[in-house]
Amino acid sequence: MDRVVVVGASLAGLRAAETLRNEGFGGQVVVVGAEQHRPYDRPPLSKKVLAGEWEPERIYLRQPDSFDELDVEWRLGVAAAGLDLDGGILHLADGTDILFDGCIIATGAVCRQLAEQSRHAHVHELRTLDDSMRLRAELSGGDHHAVVIGAGFIGLEVAATAKQLGNRVTVLEGAPAPLIRGLGPEMGAAIGAMHAERGVDIRCGVQVEGLHEDGVLLAGGELIESDLVVVGIGVVPATAWLDDSGLEIRDGIVCDATLNARSIDGGVRRGVYAAGDVLRWPNHLFDEEMRVEHWTNAAEQGAAAARNLLAVSCGNEPEPYAPVPFFWSDQFDIRVQFLGCSSPEDDVHVAAGSVDDGKFLALYRTGDKLHGALGVNSPRWVMKMRGSLAAGASWADAIAVAENFE
């Protein structure tokens, strides 16, 4: 290969570019990013940056001289517009093209939006640094009523930060409990109760009819008046620019176990890999196809995609990517950590600590096997379960491990 293009100046994209260099690739590396910013850390956007405790320069993933030493060409502020796989051409939104021999797609995800959301200046979303700074300017003075639509992790992190800044906060969620997608109803309700204890009004089982200049209109006609609204109803993979590429798209770029992108005809596209929120792949450790939207996965996948691209280009065997997924979330003084996976069918058991005390370890069971581990304010306990998940531990063995925690 003479030139590799990394599409997405994200954490996954940066790790891919760094790995190419660290593994000895001497050709040209071009990193394309839709934002003007070089790669930065997204988790602080809903916490430290939004709260005004950190300024933007603190969240860049590398110092300016480190970016320069990487020896890549940065094409920032221009989005990818199309991919010609047969010709090896990346089309950009400014009308220019980039020829490539290898491609790593790391375009991440974009926020889901409500109808006519963009018409309302007081309605915000939170995905980028610019989003965070705009919302920060609105919340920083306190004494506002902020309505957050969606009680997922981003929604609850924003709610916590807004409350700590002195604002009144109402969270609206259509599901019966917060965080159902990630934690299930029982544990989601436990986290929601912790928010309620700290003054956040969480209303579950409500349906939003639409946005109004004075707030949020619910089905049935109730208007929740507010000064500002934050829409946090999840994200979708940023794949619209790949509609005519010939890649298989199904809630993300469909890849094989080595992160090699698949074609709509069922084969793989040599030289095209993906990393981060934008793809789904079969994780053989859990025998599941999954799409993971969290920091650790983006970092590890970016490196894995680059290594496999180089391996195949040299005639070597690529390695399957089969990690134990991990994510965390800070809300008020609540540290939530999760290892492994969860599904609506899982049985959940509090194996150490107690929900009432606000410090506990909950284990998730699928059949007779450990499926996931949730720690709330218990980092030592949850991280000790990583080995059990990596080994495919039985439920009985996992319970035996947790019984020794104090």
pLDDT for 254? 98
Report whether pLDDT(266) > 90. Answer: no
CATH number of 113-231: 3.50.50.60
39-92 tens-digit pLDDT: 999 999 999 999 999 999 999 999 988 998 999 999 999 999 999 999 999 999
Measured between alpha carbons, how far is 377 from 221 in angstroms, rounded to an integer? 39
User: Percent of the chain at pLDDT above 90?
Assistant: 97
Q: pLDDT tens digits for 237-256? A: 999 999 999 999 999 999 99
Quote the CA–CA distance of 77 and 215 in Å, as a whole number: 33
- Domains of the chain, by residue range, sit at 3-110+235-313, 113-231, 333-402
- Output the average pLDDT for the chain: 97
- Asked whether the predicted pLDDT for residue 200 surpasses 80, the reply is yes
- Nearest alpha carbon to residue 358 among 366, 350, 367: 350
Given the candidates 1.10.101.10, 3.30.70.20, 3.50.50.60, 3.40.50.10310, the CATH classification of the domain at 3-110+235-313 is 3.50.50.60
Answer CATH for 333-402 from 3.30.70.260, 3.40.50.300, 3.40.50.1100, 3.30.390.30? 3.30.390.30
Mean pLDDT of 261-277: 95
Q: What is residue 369's predicted lDDT score, i.e. its pLDDT? A: 97
Report pLDDT digits (tens) over 371-403: 999 999 999 999 999 999 999 999 999 999 999
Same fold? 113-231, 333-402: no
406 vs 145, higher pLDDT: 145
* pLDDT average, residue stretch 304-325: 98
